[in-house]
Chain A
């Protein structure tokens, strides 16, 4: 069966510090991968999606970047965090683009 992992589960970082969140998927090959952010009290916003290794599309201009160095690994990064980067970050995968997306447990990031 397929599983999706995210870590860390929670993170508290000072403003201006770097960020690296990792997501890995097991049990499937060549998945579509997604990064979402949920700000407090708001809906989910798609940040990045990837259809293959080193193929990343960004949905919104922002302080963040994403990379996919391996087929089932998706990394969300920032060189300098802003207060507005605080939120709940979710990684998801799907088999086909039209299919349901399966979400990971999420990382709760607090930037102070």
Chain B
């Protein structure tokens, strides 16, 4: 019973921006949006998280809509090493991260 909905797969050309959408229409006021990615057979890697405002770090940008019901993770210049499953998760900050859901399998192509 994941709280988020993501497309199962996406392709992106190397060097182009990858925009990964996520719907979280039932998000509550105290819940954060987190993004992780998992490269095959490895543990998940944290990317970014946010509450209301857009966020940017060295890996990606997170755009959260004003009503907070959806968000987009942006990888500005995708590389082949960005090929992974990307998970969008909502959590209340109490450590209660529930099921990650299926995620989006991003394939970066040369």
Contact = CB atoms under 8 A, between A and B. Distances in A.
Contact of A100 (B49, B87, B94): B49
B95 interface: yes
Nearest to B4: A43
B98 A46 contact: yes
B87 A49 contact: no
Interface stretch (B13-21, B40-48, B60-68, B75-83): B40-48
Contacts of B96: 46, 49, 59
Interface of B: 2, 32, 34, 41-46, 49, 87, 91, 93-103
B103 A101 contact: no
Nearest to A51: B95
A25 interface: no
Contact of B43 (A32, A59, A90, A100): A90
A101 B87 contact: no
14 contacts: A42-B102, A43-B103, A44-B99, A45-B99, A46-B98, A59-B96, A88-B41, A90-B44, A97-B93, A97-B94, A101-B44, A101-B46, A103-B44, A105-B43
Nearest to A102: B46
Contacts, number: 56
Contacts of B46: 100-102
A102 to B, nearest CB: 7
Q: Name, among B95, B99, B103, the residue most crowded by chain A CB atoms within 10 Å (CB to CB).
A: B95
Contact of A98 (B93, B98, B102): B93
Contacts of A98: 32, 49, 91, 93
A19 to B, nearest CB: 19
Contacts of B93: 97-98
A103 B47 CA distance: 12
Nearest to B98: A46
A44 B2 CA distance: 10
A106 B100 contact: no
A74 interface: no
Contact of A49 (B2, B34, B95, B100): B95
A94 B44 contact: no
